[in-house]
Chain A
Amino acid sequence: MNRIVFISKKAVELFILFFLILTVLFFLFRLAPGDPVTRMVDPMLTPEDAAHIIEQMGLDKPLTTQYMIYVKNFFTGNFGFSFHYGEPVARVIMARLPCTLLLFTTSTLLAALAGVFLGKISAWKKGSRMDGVLSISALVCHTLFVPWFALMMLWMLGFQVGWFPLGGIISPELWIEDAPFGLKVLDVIHHMILPLLTLFIIHVGSYLLLMRSSMLSVLKEDYILTARAKGLTDRVIRNRHAAKNAALPVVTSVGLSLAFSINGGALTEQIFTWPGIGRELIFAVSNNDYPLAQGCFLLIAAVVLSANFIVDLLYAWLDPRIHY
């Protein structure tokens, strides 16, 4: 199939899928029990007050009318105002997105790089002591319970040893005193090390195991035998022939992980008080802040769909045997 036709078809598919997600999200939130006012347990709030708030939020209109307004607003780039923040949804998301991307994208990339490297070594030295240590460590990392591990990291390195701050992304004192820009950057890095290390340890295991398993099956291929017969060095066979082909499933996994990194990790963000999008997503869903929840989910859907699309294209580039 022609590449341009493939891309066009895929783009149309993605658009239809995205529109379906848009619609499902709208009805899913509104059909859930309660509304944004239900959770306000305040005896000062009378039923008349509640009705007034509902009317001002536009939730008193029939569902179909609300849906038409929602679709129209979406296509005009208007995501509405958060019910609780009283701010445009785009502004709320954009304020948190950089923090999430900074932490989760960095941790995914670092974990993937380390996982690929260690997985390659582990598979190459299959059965050795190093393979045993790496595989067991990877399994342990992979099965760690995130909240417990994050708290332990904070307790050990943040509290007992005191090397790192106990949360947040910056030290208020530096910003109040208007410290030099370089110092502020270092301060952010200082705050980032602990959550980054936690996420790295949690994720590196899965990439290592994936790479190891993929590499082991590649090492059985005929072309590896051919490469050996040609007299190539172990390093060249491992790095240029085996690892490149074995990395394909890891690329898919990293691509999707990078896409999903946009929604952050609510638990990690909560424990490290990282001002990311994951906490907002949980807040928006549990408090029926429809515009904010929809905005967050639509962003995630858009990024995941795009990442899938890119991974499809990347596959063909990495493996010449794949044709459209």
Chain B
Amino acid sequence: MKTMLSSADITSIDLYHTWVRVRLKAFFMITVFMVFCLLSCQEKSTKEILKIGLPEEPRTLNVWLASDSNSWKILSQIYQPMYLRDPDTLELIPWLAKDMPVLDRENMSYLVTLKAAKWSDGTPFTAHDVAFTAGVFHDFKVPRYYSKWKAVEKIEVVDDHTVRFFLKKPSAIILSRVFTAPMVSQKRWQPVVDAALKTRKPLRTLQNHKIESPLGTGPFVLSQYQKGTFIYMEKNPRFFGTGRTMAHRRLGPWVDGVIYRMYGTGDVAILALQKGEIDMYWWGIQPGYVAQLTQTPDIELFHNHKSALYFMGFNVRKAPFDDRALRRAVATLIDKEFIVTRLLQNYGIAMHSIVPPGNAFWHNRDVPRYSEGLNRDQRIAKAHDLLKQAGYTWETPPVDENGNIQTARNIRLPNGNPMEKMIILTPPADYDPKRAFAGMMIQEWMREMGIPAFARPMSFGALLDKVKGKHDFDAFVLGYGRLNLDPDYVRTFFYSKNDKPRGWNMSGYKNPLFDDLANRQRAEMDRNRRRELLIEMQRIILDDVPYIPLYNPDILEASSRKRFNGWVESLEGIGNIWSLCMVKPVTATELNP
């Protein structure tokens, strides 16, 4: 039953409310005070710990499953290959191996001698581990490795530190693709592998195996992993490289550990770098940050080339894109300098061949360069000539009888039919603004010739499904951000047998002469002769232009020089194992010279 409140009751309620408010205020103030006091009174650690920011959390530490770059940033500090690229020359040099492999042409085998290295648990790394790793690649058909390791017929363990690889047939990619694979410990993985082989889906079981503490031979070992927040890796005291001189560098690691922290956006990571929360951000930064970062005294900017290719591809399986003249005309219309200066803000280069110029040994400088050095009118006039000679006509041609450039209208194919609407698929601007805007610019340049082109950004997954899965497209703008330094991908992209769903010949290019050269280069063991074949392959592609190479953006990275220095610059920037073996704490003299 409800009763009326007396004035005494109301007064007591008021007093109670006042008391609650006072207590809440006091609690809040005490909490804030304690947070600041305790956080500022912490004892600073004497360890020299490098702090690196990552754009995303590594998806997995399972070496058999990892496919994303962030997972490999961690795993590459743990699992080591037999051979590694020299950061200066980009040539492969012995890493876990003692010397370069010795080829026995008679038996078609490679003999590899291993260094006296140890796993991080103290057990020795032996030839048995190499053979075991190879066995896993083969038995489980591990994606990305199996297709390359298929070339190895058998592996013979000669002794604990010598292993011989017998090849089925000569293969040029053995050194770059097989001997650079990460090695795992037999002792650690044998029970897991045995159990997985007994299951219905062995590969999936192996990939779903939970890794608590990965065992490797690399410079760092995993110490702590708080999911979603940080990864702490400690210096591996048993790292085989410590104190050795490799690639003209005396290797460390010279830091006690590395903390990897994740940052959800590049903006926040840059602020963290400026504030000193991290010493380096392991991801390319946008050119727009350069002005802001150069004004920060402790920030050092690094500007390096990438092994990348951004390109426009045609569906040459269907008309009119099966016409080489049309593709050449489009290649002529594209103003690559505009793309480099405006879209890349001069942080990149125009690409003219499939192999980037940074990969100097394999790059062909003498491929046809359709639009280089031409202004807008000259490009239109040249493209007009190409198309006119191939039988194309216009209601209003782009060039009038007096040679003046005018707005072209209604282009007609050589058979007299009007050209149908042509769609250029691009990733959306929020995924990659450069590719999206490049697509729009190409649309405009093509319209100047009367070609009814329409750039259509679409979700990346849907784009790849159309281009790579269903082959349902006219043209597209895509890119490869990290191309392997071995140029066998030239074959992969244009080999006729790769024109199948999910195959990498997305354009559907078929050329028996190219196929023959591709097969020969793959089997050519002599590096210089292989180079000649690859140079010719690049020339053929740029002659037929199923892909029009567009640009290669540079990689811009930033680090703080307040606490550490010694970053090693290479083709892909400073984020590499060499840097982590070479970065040193800044000395007092270096800090205050």
Contact = CB atoms under 8 A, between A and B. Distances in A.
Interface stretch (A9-17, A37-45, A301-309): A37-45
B566 interface: no
Given A43-B484, A51-B502, A57-B204, A172 B230 contact: yes
B265 A186 contact: no
B259 A43 contact: no
Contacts of B502: 37, 47, 50-51
Contact of B262 (A38, A39, A58, A273): A273
Contacts of A49: 141, 143-144, 146-147
A46 B210 CA distance: 26
Interface in A71-109: 81, 84-87, 95-96, 99
B265 A87 contact: no
Contacts of B144: 42, 44-45, 49
Nearest to B37: A186
B226 A175 contact: yes
B103 interface: no
Interface in B34-69: 34-35, 38-39, 42, 45, 49, 51, 57, 59-60, 62, 65, 67-68
Contact of B484 (A41, A44, A155, A287): A44
A168 B464 contact: no
Given A154-B271, A159-B275, A85 B143 contact: no
Interface string B118-148: 0000000000000000000000010110111
A236 B10 contact: yes
Interface stretch (A120-128, A176-184, A248-256): A176-184
A26 interface: no
Contact of B228 (A50, A96, A182): A96
A269 B264 contact: yes
B34 A168 contact: no
B264 A38 contact: no
Interface stretch (B239-247, B337-345, B377-385, B465-473): B465-473
Interface in B447-465: 459-462, 464-465
Which residue among A40, A86, A99, A175 has the maximum number of chain B CB atoms within 10 Å of its CB?
A: A86
Contacts of B388: none
A43 B42 contact: no
B271 A186 contact: no
Contacts of B567: none
Interface in A159-175: 159, 162, 165-175
Contacts of A238: none
A20 B461 CA distance: 26
A81 to B, nearest CB: 5
Given A176-B224, A186-B35, A273-B263, A286 B274 contact: no
Interface string A131-154: 000000000000000000001001
Contacts of B65: 86
A108 to B, nearest CB: 19
B5 to A, nearest CB: 6
Given A56-B204, A168-B261, A174-B42, A154 B230 contact: no
A45 B143 contact: yes
Contacts of A190: 35, 39
A193 B562 CA distance: 28
Contacts of B483: 43
A104 B264 CA distance: 18
Contact of B461 (A169, A235, A286): A286
A270 B264 contact: yes
Nearest to A170: B229
Contacts, number: 194
Given A38-B469, A39-B461, A43-B489, A165 B232 contact: no
Interface string B255-294: 0010101111101100110110100000000000000000
Nearest to A176: B232
B76 interface: no
B115 to A, nearest CB: 26
Contact of A186 (B38, B143, B208): B38
B203 interface: yes
Contact of A43 (B31, B229, B493): B493
B45 A177 contact: yes
B471 to A, nearest CB: 13
A313 interface: no
Interface string B493-526: 1000010111110000000000000000000000
B492 interface: yes
Nearest to B7: A233
Given A41-B464, A167-B268, A170-B226, A56 B10 contact: no
B504 A43 contact: yes
A176 B203 CA distance: 34
Contacts of B57: 275
A97 B230 CA distance: 17
A48 B497 CA distance: 12
A279 interface: yes
A42 B145 CA distance: 12
A165 B263 CA distance: 12
B204 A166 contact: no
Which residue among A46, A58, A154, A186 has the maximum number of chain B CB atoms within 10 Å of its CB?
A: A46
B231 to A, nearest CB: 9
Contacts of A182: 38
Contacts of A46: 147, 504
Contacts of B49: 173, 176
B228 A99 contact: yes
Contact of B39 (A34, A51, A177, A186): A186
Contact of A271 (B42, B143, B265): B265
A261 interface: no
A207 interface: no
A117 B548 CA distance: 64
Nearest to B234: A176
A272 interface: yes
Contact of B275 (A151, A166, A172, A272): A166
Given A49-B141, A172-B226, 8 more contacts: A34-B462, A49-B144, A85-B59, A167-B272, A235-B14, A270-B265, A271-B265, A288-B461
12 contacts: A45-B144, A46-B147, A53-B143, A85-B60, A86-B207, A154-B271, A155-B271, A162-B275, A170-B229, A172-B229, A172-B232, A275-B227
